[in-house]
Structure 1
Amino acid sequence: MEQIAENRCFGGRQLRYRHPSGTLGCEMVFAVYLPPQAEAGPVPVLYWLSGLTCTDENFVTKAGAQRYAAEHGIAIVAPDTSPRGEGVADDPDGAYDFGLGAGFYVNATQAPYAAHYRMYDYVVDELPALVEAALPLDSGRRAISGHSMGGHGALTIALKNPGRYQSVSAFSPICSPLNCPWGEKALSGYLGDDRSTWRDYDATDLVGRAQEQLPVLVDQGEADDFLVEQLKPELLVTASEAAGYPITIRMQPGYDHSYYFIASFIGEHLAFHAANL
């Protein structure tokens, strides 16, 4: 775990690290914000998962989350969105919605992607074990959040890992990869054509099988260009109501899919997690 950048920010430290990942079989980079409270001892931690085409830097530079993280004394860990490097397979057509920058937070089973694309295990196991051992983070107080593909990742990971997280939130999540073009392309490519294997990566399916009920906050912009075809929050509403799983899903008039939307509500998400951590 090699530190490659550090910037002072709202009394805390914005850090960037590089490390060899045994899970992904490549070198990975991730970002960590440590609030000023971390100088006195371990602080709760929010894992942030970014969307298609993003790296660890998008959220760190655009969301403005550090101000609120400093106020609440919460660290933020932001991994990359896929394995990268020589020998890591990409979309054969070079498309943005599969391969590099589009790991979808699944464990791939299909060649050639199974060799590296194990972002689920990386986010759930390897990365937390690394950072929580090396930095002043309280492993007993974790939350997870994300945007778009990362919102899908945050919801599915939280729903599948009872006891690991105290809360989960999402901006513009891909609510049902089983029922949208982005999901169908990614899950068929990483997992194969047997759609029954996709169910473990679909929040609308998982919500009815969850072994615990976490506090969940979802914000979705009504002016989002991807709302109807790709994101489908109405499917999550229906599934959560059928399962008796209370989820707060807020439709925000006039907001789109961009980081302007995230920056507008990230303070409320940090306050939501702080209340549960």
Structure 2
Amino acid sequence: MARVSLTSAVARGVFLLIALVVPLLVAPAGAVARPGDAGSYLKSMKRTSGDLWTMTVHSAAMGQDIPLQVLRPSANRAGAPTLYLLNGAGGGEDKANWLRQTDALRFFGDKFVNVVIPQKGIGSYYTDWISRDPAIGRPMWQTFLTRELPPILDRALNTNGRRAIAGLSMSATSVLQLAISSPGLYRSVASYSGCARTSTPEGQAAVRGIVFSASQANADNMWGPVASPVWTHRDPYLNAEKLRGTTLYLSSGSGLAGRYDTVDSQAPGAPPLIDQVTVGGAIEAATRSCTVNLAEKLRALRIPATVHLPTTGTHSWGYWQDELHRSWPTVARGLRS
């Protein structure tokens, strides 16, 4: 596996850059009462078009309704597993989401799987916050995704109870954190362009910057001040042992411009090309370093993982679409086991 030659000083600079400039990469029926965990329930479910459905689930932990986009198998829907597909820093509340930026709807059209995409979560890291924040309240996404939502989905979609989870950028860290918080809940985890080192000074700086830039929230309300033990408790690198037994897929580009870093190949609503190449390149170089470090930790622990480290690629949607395709055989294998 190739190493990324970043000195600690350069790496620190890159992470601080992430903290400052992530916003440049963020693009501008009747109720059915079915109880979930501690008062959560399915509020509505309707077909939008074809295999695309819209669901609304009330989260008791967050005291609000959570909209979900759901891709269902075209036929013989009963007994399919479920893939939770998380958006990035915008939480799907902006144009930078899986359905608008990728071919996910078409890609999963012939797959026997339910794909569930939450349409909230901006700047939240899809985690449980320890305190209420003036900007975004008190997100409780870990509770929602691991305790409230699964039984509701299993009943509403008549699933087989098997789950996988995948995410990009901010949520590429989140999916690893969710997996270590509930070992065995997800049979497969795919992390595209994320960073598992959340408790180091550089990791904290990046997380705090992403939280603030996306939502103007204070990450002290998420995991506490710098010295809080919550930061290490939620660090997937430090807790990698809890990933044992999970089918893992990790990927990151190198930060060098590639096939999607041209005017003709940019996704609709993408940031200016200069930002995609320079800012997106710097961010992807940092996530590459993180991905290499986690892969090495997993290898030292003798925990198998499929790792893809292409020689080019910036922090942008074209590459994440490719990784969604590339990772599917791995994810599907875990769902079958």
With normalisation by structure 1, the TM-score equals 0.82
Is residue 72–residue 274 contact of structure 1 (8 Å, CA) maintained in 2? no
**Once structures 1 and 2 are overlaid, which stretch shifts more, 248-257 or 148-157?**
248-257
Q: CA deviation at 1:203?
A: 1.3
After superposition, the Cα gap between the structure-2 partners of 1:219 and 1:38, relative to the gap in structure 1 and judged at 3 Å, is: farther
Deviation track 1:62-101 (CA, whole Å, cap 9, x = no partner) reads 221233323331110011342xxxxxxxxxxxxxxxxxx1
Corresponding position: 1:192 with 2:192: no
RMSD: 2.3
Q: CA deviation at 1:53?
A: 1.4
Q: Secondary structure at the match of 1:19?
A: strand
Is residue 248–residue 330 contact of structure 2 (8 Å, CA) maintained in 1? no
- Matched ranges for 1:1-277 at <5 A: 1-3=43-45, 6-8=48-50, 13-39=51-77, 41-55=78-92, 58-82=97-121, 101-112=122-133, 116-139=138-161, 141-179=162-200, 180=203, 181-184=205-208, 186=211, 187-193=219-225, 194-208=227-241, 210=242, 212-223=244-255, 224-229=281-286, 232-277=290-335
Is residue 218–residue 249 contact of structure 1 (8 Å, CA) maintained in 2? yes
Residue type matched to 1:117 in 2? Answer: P
Residue type matched to 2:282 in 1? Answer: D
With normalisation by structure 2, the TM-score equals 0.68
Is residue 184–residue 245 contact of structure 2 (8 Å, CA) maintained in 1? no
**Relative contact order (C-alpha < 8 Å, sep 6+): which is higher?**
2
Residue type matched to 2:82 in 1? Answer: V
Q: Distance in 1 between matches of 2:330 and 2:88?
A: 21
After superposition, the Cα gap between the structure-2 partners of 1:261 and 1:48, relative to the gap in structure 1 and judged at 3 Å, is: same
Identity of aligned residues (%): 19
Q: CA deviation at 1:152?
A: 0.9
Q: Aligned pair count?
A: 252
Residue type matched to 2:322 in 1? Answer: S
Is residue 216–residue 248 contact of structure 1 (8 Å, CA) maintained in 2? yes
Q: Name whichever structure is richer in strand by fraction.
A: 1
Is residue 43–residue 75 contact of structure 1 (8 Å, CA) maintained in 2? yes
Q: Distance in 1 between matches of 2:320 and 2:89?
A: 15
Residue type matched to 2:67 in 1? Answer: V
Q: Distance in 2 between matches of 1:142 and 1:171?
A: 18
After superposition, the Cα gap between the structure-2 partners of 1:74 and 1:262, relative to the gap in structure 1 and judged at 3 Å, is: same
Deviation track 1:155-207 (CA, whole Å, cap 9, x = no partner) reads 12123322212111111012212232222455434121133211232211110
Q: Which runs of 4+ in 1 moved over 6 A?
A: none
Is residue 72–residue 271 contact of structure 1 (8 Å, CA) maintained in 2? no
